Amino acid sequence: MKVIWALAAILVALPFMAVQGMAQDYRLRAGDTVQIEVLEDNTLNRTAIVLPDGQISIPLVGSVPAAGRSLAAVQQDLAARLAPNFATAPTVFVTMNSLAERTPSSPRTIDVFVLGAANTPGRVEMKPGTTFLQAIAQAGGLSPFAAKKRIQLRRVDRSGSEQVYTLNYDAIERGAVSGGSTRLMDGDVIVVPQRKLFE
C-alpha cells in the first residue's frame, strides 16, 4: 500500500517538476514581467518589466541586466547588488509574473517572377496559394501589347526539369477554359510574350 501511495505522489509531482525545470531553463526576454520580493524590506517588493534594452530597474540598485538570463541568475545578481544596503545578505526571490506578448511571425511568402508584356514585370512577392489570375493582377495586369493567347507558366519540378504550360488568357477571361485558378508555387515564372504584328 505504501508503494502505491509513493507512486501516486511521484506521478502527481512530475508535472510540477517539469514546469519548474522549464522555468529554470527559461531565459527572460524584453516585455516579460517578473515579481521581486525582498524579505528584509517589503518596500522593495515590486513587479518589474524587462525593458527593451534588456534591463529591469530596482530602487537602491538601479538597472540590472535581465534579458537572456535565467530567473535564478537575476535573483543572485540582485541579492549581491542589494547586499551593501543590509547588515546581512538579503533574501531575494525573483519569480515569473507574465510572459511578453509574442507577435505572430510574418506569414511565409513565395516569389513569382513575371517577364515580358506585363504592366509591372519583375519579382512579385505573394502569399502561398495565390492563383495565376491573382498574380497577373498583382503584376498590374497585361500591357496592350501582350500576346494573351500564349502566356507561359514555367515551373521547375523537384527533379530540376522545367515544365512549360501555355495559358490562354483570353479564353480564361471568357470562362471558356480553366487555368486561371492554377495555384502558383515558389519560383514560378510567368512569361508574357509580345503580340506579333497581326496577332
Q: Tens of pLDDT along 127-157?
A: 988 999 999 999 999 999 999 999 999 998 8
Q: Is 123 helix (H, G, I), strand (E, B) or coil?
A: strand
Same domain, 6 and 42: yes
Domain that holds residue 75: 2-98
| pLDDT at residue 5, rounded to an integer | 47
Evaluate whether 74 touches 81 at the Cβ level (below 8 Å): no
The model's confidence at residue 11, banded by pLDDT at 50, 70 and 90, is very low
| Final residue belonging to a domain, choices 49, 71, 98 | 98
Q: What is the CATH number of the domain that holds 57?
A: 3.30.1950.10
Amino acid code (one letter) for 79: A
Q: What is the CATH number of the domain that holds 157?
A: 3.10.560.10
Residues 88-113 have a mean pLDDT of 83
The model's confidence at residue 106, banded by pLDDT at 50, 70 and 90, is low
Evaluate whether 175 touches 98 at the Cβ level (below 8 Å): no
| pLDDT at residue 19, rounded to an integer | 38
- Whether 40 is in a domain gets the answer yes
| pLDDT at residue 20, rounded to an integer | 44
**Beta strand spans in the chain (E):** 33-38, 46-49, 55-58, 62-65, 92-98, 110-116, 122-126, 151-156, 162-167, 189-192
Evaluate whether 109 touches 188 at the Cβ level (below 8 Å): no
The model's confidence at residue 10, banded by pLDDT at 50, 70 and 90, is very low
Number of CB atoms found within 10 A of residue 77's CB: 17
User: What is the tens place of the pLDDT at every residue in 150-180?
Assistant: 999 999 887 888 889 999 998 998 888 878 8
Same domain, 131 and 91: no
Q: Which residue has the higher pLDDT, 140 or 106?
A: 140
User: What is the tens place of the pLDDT at every residue in 85-95?
Assistant: 999 989 999 99
- Whether 138 is in a domain gets the answer yes
Q: Which residue has the higher pLDDT, 4 or 163?
A: 163
Amino acid code (one letter) for 82: L
Model confidence, pTM? 0.48
Same domain, 80 and 168: no
